[in-house]
Amino acid sequence: MTAFIEAASPHVMNTYGRVPIALERGQGCRVWDVNGKEYLDALGGIAVNTLGHNHPRLVPALQDQLTKLIHTSNYYHVPGQEILAKMLVERAKMTNVFFCSTGLEANEAAIKIARKYGVDKGIARPEIVVYDHAFHGRSIATMTATGNAKVRDGFGPLLDGFIRVAPNDYQALLAATEGNANITAVLMEPIQGEGGLHPMRAEYLQQVRALCDERGWLLMLDEVQAGMGRTGKWFAHQWAGIVPDVMSLAKGLGSGVPVGAVVAHGKAAEVLKPGNHGSTFGGNPFAMRAGIETIRIMEEDGLLEHAARVGEHLKAALRAKLGVLDGVVDIRGQGLMIGVELNKPCGQLIGQAAAAGLLLSVTADTVIRLVPPLILTEAEADEIVERLLPLVQAVLAA
Ligand SMILES: *Cc1c(COP(=O)(O)O)cnc(C)c1O
């Protein structure tokens, strides 16, 4: 088994630069590989495993669902869709939900809403404002919306209808859109994840919200990574006290079961009509049960407050131990979505940390990303810092 893994997988397409370990089981914030080596999971499957691994209430609920129905078809009503949709719209103060299975699909649905919303208003060639350093997925449309040339290069021709601006620069947004009557929406991540853990400022979000209202544009927020309690509120934009017209969700929504959703509000909620959009797997009974139980457990266990508190603890510990090092440029983030930016590329840390028993990622070349399960304890947060410190010291000394 191990030898096979270390020799790579000749039959699996080589699309990932993988670390040479193979994980076999998990419990809480710990996982073990096929050789029995233990790891502390500060990655959570990239902000996916909200409730950690083998959760004592999620797993029995999923087992129960497996014995009832895994999948039916959207030809028929799926009662779980109504339950999960109601849970989401109540927490988002929005109107309705379309279910899919991944983040890019949620963003595709958002882009389709923005285009149809424009076409319905008589705009033949709708345009959407997107951002430098944004990441929205790897389909043709979401890749076009993505701000990273490394993601886009080699896959042209890309799509028309996107205008790119710099984050957090309201004047630049005004200048780029001046006199353009084709704009129908602004799409952004409230905290850019893949782009290097860069938050949009609350004031900027509020300004764009007001501008969208004034111009009749849809404010569409990609909360695929920052949503579902990760920042200590249900949705990251809630720190700015605004409500978007469209919001995409996925990653943490099903605690590891693939669930995506696009949540719409007001006029945006009426755009898609029967026949306009669909998904075979989207909203299937198993996926819905995962979403429902994730939210139920998060609420029963107070995981929003917990993520906010443990996140502050982790950030403070990182600042105390790593923030003092020459070469640590910034430590930022909200709740359990934290970035440690170094003054040099540090992609090798992913493998080095794994060797030292810690799972994490590096985004935008220089930013260590910590997005652990929301059940992380303060003691585990301290352990992350302990394990990370010598690794970062070594990278900076090299
Ligand atoms: C991960 C991510 C996506 C893409 O999600 P997939 O499920 O991989 O398609 C889109 N937007 C953001 C902000 C993400 O972090």
Confirm whether residue 280 is marked as ligand binding.
yes
Among candidate residues 98, 99, 135, 235, the one labeled active-site is: 135
pLDDT of residue 1: 45
pLDDT of residue 173: 98
Confirm whether residue 206 is marked as ligand binding.
no
Beta strand pairing call for 127-131 and 183-188: parallel
Q: Which of 138, 224, 247, 281 gets mutated to test ligand 1 (max ligand atoms within 8 A of its CB)? A: 224
**213 catalytically annotated:** no
In the chain, CATH 3.90.1150.10 covers: 2-55+303-397
CATH architecture for segment(s) 69-300: 3-Layer(aba) Sandwich (3.40)
Cβ atoms within 10 Å, residue 218:
25
In the chain, CATH 3.40.640.10 covers: 69-300
Global pTM?
Answer: 0.97
- For residue 184, the number of C-alpha atoms closer than 13 Å in the C-beta half-sphere is 25
Task: Please check whether residue 152 is in contact with residue 135, taking contact to mean a CB–CB distance below 8 angstroms.
Answer: no
**321 catalytically annotated:** no
In CATH terms, 2-55+303-397 corresponds, of 3.90.1150.10, 1.10.3720.10, 3.90.850.10, 1.10.645.10, to 3.90.1150.10
Give the C-alpha separation, 291 to 300, whole Å: 14
Task: Please check whether residue 261 is in contact with residue 271, taking contact to mean a CB–CB distance below 8 angstroms.
Answer: no
Cα distance between the two ends of the chain: 34
pLDDT of residue 254: 98
Q: By alpha-carbon position, which residue is closest to atom 15 of ligand 1?
A: 225
**116 catalytically annotated:** no
Q: By alpha-carbon position, which residue is closest to atom 11 of ligand 1?
A: 136
DSSP string, 235-273: SGGGGGT---SEEEE-GGGGBTB--EEEEE-GGGGGS--
Backbone angles phi, psi at 22, to 5 degrees: -130, 120
Give the C-alpha separation, 318 to 169, whole Å: 29
For each of the chain's 398 residues, which pLDDT tens digit applies?
444 455 568 899 999 999 999 999 999 999 999 999 999 999 999 999 999 999 999 999 999 999 999 999 999 999 999 999 999 999 999 999 999 999 999 999 999 999 999 999 999 999 999 999 999 999 999 999 999 999 999 999 999 999 999 999 999 999 999 999 999 999 999 999 999 999 999 999 999 999 999 999 999 999 999 999 999 999 999 999 999 999 999 999 999 999 999 999 999 999 999 999 999 999 999 999 999 999 999 999 999 999 999 999 999 999 999 999 999 999 999 999 999 999 999 999 999 999 999 999 999 999 999 999 999 999 999 999 999 999 999 999 99
Provide residues with CB under 6 Å of ligand 1: 102-104, 107, 135-137, 189, 193-194, 222, 224-225, 250-251
Confirm whether residue 279 is marked as ligand binding.
yes
Question: Whose CA is closest to 41, among 29, 32, 33?
Answer: 29
